[in-house]
A and B are shown apart, each in its own frame.
Chain A
């Protein structure tokens, strides 16, 4: 019994300390340098895509807005809460979480530090079952990934229809990390647009169950290539670099994701863009200007945050025109790519 009581006393003391820390860290005092902490997802900063872009956005804010910025990489999901808490408890003005899987952690920590601003790419502050808590101090930075997916999907479909695939098999593939909305948005747009351009096309969709280990995406891509896929779209961050290389080894084409990945492998003919850097920068700027607002901010073709870039390939002019035409239609709202993967 004595031990139990001591335990409760200890807990109370910890709670007091946390409360004190919260009180001491209220942001927004004038003439103070804004401090921003970025917590990456497990893909790590060297994923050449998602986390790398968040870092680029932070660097730009440091250069342009004169803020102080720091980064912690999460090696696994257990580190989200401690990493976020680390920044929040040290008086950072804005704590950025990068990634869908970090939502419950953001929900927990943002609830504990109501005076700290939070922003999360690809999600919101949620409870453990990913239900949005609608916290006023959390900014949700969401993308319409299906738009970018559709643009590279249309490119693959057009090339297949014109007989310009490596062996013209009418089979293409997408290697996702984990089956979560931001990944599936991309794949949904890809499949939808490819089938629109080439109705005979078959789209293989696989998952590596991982965002960091290239070995796993490489083996999923090899399986798809073995089943005649000749365009591989990677949607798996650092893991997906293995898919791009598998495509290169097999002499088929690939599409990069999030960032321009033309340097990741010669097989990359184009990349589907998701300008996480723009989202991160926009969010930091809102704090600097004192205009931070909780809730959803959507990034899409409308605000030039999605799109595609051409890489190691000489794309025929008519294909490019078709893809750009599709982008214009999506931007104008006359065509809407689906958010869920079509059957």
Chain B
């Protein structure tokens, strides 16, 4: 029982919510990528691999140039390149999109470990110096607001960027002509094509955008939080982002809500020093929350109608 009162007490601390938001953003970026990709009709389960690739090349670039901004650019590009592979395979060659996604995830895990051995041998991958990672920024004035100042305005720069992207992507998808086209392509590509929309162009752009966003998340993880690369460091976050996208019914804010729930589970676990419960038990918390949310809170959610179906021009 003390464990439950410990957790209840935790829920009223700004520290917990600050950690929750940070953990949620790592999931939100790939989840947003997934939303865009799947809204255009291309199933994307490869965010894990794109994020991992981004994290790896981000660290390699940061170690080489000692510049977190350039390194972030490299990470984003690396994620985008992996996505381009997925795009070519699934849009151009109409391969099964699930299979392509799994292949990319496995390839990314193997590629990064292989390159570690080639570049660094059996030596240290290396850790970034104290000021070589993406900075944590307190926003003057706002960060002094009780409770919310700490939660919202004392975060890594990527957190602010991601929150802006969240709003932008929501507006893009549901308030602009481009968004309408993306959704049209995902629901009924034949009709969209007839209306003069370039289905291939929209799908390519959407899939590659998902890679850019996943790469940014990889950069946050590797050169914002960890300051190094370790094999498989994304630790399933790309898959959790996938689940968040589905919980969120393929909407940006829905996905964000789901990411916050997962992030909360992670943040509560991180507080196991002050919760009187077995750390093993606590480590199950994020998954228990997932099951409860899946079973209870979220109703039926259905993907865009043409999600996962390659478009063949002229077909019915």
Contacts and interface: CB of A to CB of B under 8 A. Distances in A.
Contacts of B280: 179, 209
A226 B15 contact: yes
B135 to A, nearest CB: 10
Interface string A44-80: 1110100010010000000000000001010100000
Interface string B254-292: 000000000000110111111000011001000000000
Interface string B116-160: 000010111111001000001000000000000000000000000
A71 B122 contact: yes
Contacts of A71: 122
A231 to B, nearest CB: 13
Given A226-B15, A265-B130, A46 B123 contact: yes
A116 interface: no
A47 B29 CA distance: 28
B270 A213 contact: no
**B interface residue count range (under 10 / 10 to 19 / 20 to 34 / 35 or more):** 35 or more
Given A207-B279, A212-B230, A227 B273 contact: yes
A148 to B, nearest CB: 21
A226 B13 contact: yes
A264 interface: yes
A46 B231 contact: no
Contact of A75 (B113, B122, B226): B113
B228 interface: yes
B166 interface: no
Given A212-B230, A215-B225, A223 B120 contact: no
B226 A219 contact: no
A104 interface: no
Contacts of B283: 209
Contact of B279 (A48, A73, A206): A206
A220 interface: yes
A274 interface: no
Contact of B226 (A179, A214, A266): A214
A73 B113 CA distance: 11
Given A219-B267, A266-B130, A238 B230 contact: yes
B205 interface: no
Interface stretch (A87-95, A191-199, A242-250, A334-342): A242-250
A215 to B, nearest CB: 5
B124 A227 contact: no
A224 B125 CA distance: 28
Given A45-B123, A207-B279, A220 B226 contact: no
B235 interface: yes
B227 interface: yes
Contacts of B230: 44, 46, 212-214, 238
Interface residues of A, number: 39
A158 to B, nearest CB: 22
A287 interface: no
Nearest to B130: A248
A45 B122 contact: yes
Contacts of B202: none
B123 A209 contact: no
A319 interface: no
B43 to A, nearest CB: 28
Interface string B2-32: 0000000000010100010001000000000
A245 B124 CA distance: 17
A46 B226 contact: no
Contact of B274 (A55, A204, A213, A249): A204
A280 to B, nearest CB: 15
A46 B119 CA distance: 13
Contacts of B125: 46
Given A218-B225, A222-B19, A266-B130, A213 B233 contact: yes
Contacts of A204: 273-274
B270 A245 contact: no
B19 A219 contact: yes
Contacts of A75: 113, 231-232
A210 to B, nearest CB: 8
Contacts of A248: 130
A251 to B, nearest CB: 11
A218 B266 contact: no
Interface in A100-134: none
Given A223-B271, A226-B15, A209 B279 contact: yes
Contacts of A265: 130
A173 B273 contact: yes
B221 A215 contact: yes
A205 interface: yes
A46 B120 contact: yes
Nearest to B268: A223
Nearest to B136: A249
Contact of B124 (A48, A207, A222, A242): A48
A159 interface: no
Given A45-B122, A223-B274, 14 more contacts: A46-B123, A52-B124, A204-B274, A206-B273, A215-B233, A218-B225, A220-B270, A226-B13, A227-B15, A227-B274, A238-B230, A248-B130, A249-B136, A266-B130
12 contacts: A45-B123, A46-B123, A204-B274, A206-B270, A213-B233, A215-B235, A216-B270, A218-B225, A219-B267, A226-B15, A241-B227, A264-B127
Interface of B: 13, 15, 19, 23, 113, 120, 122-127, 130, 136, 221, 225-228, 230-233, 235, 266-267, 269-274, 279-280, 283
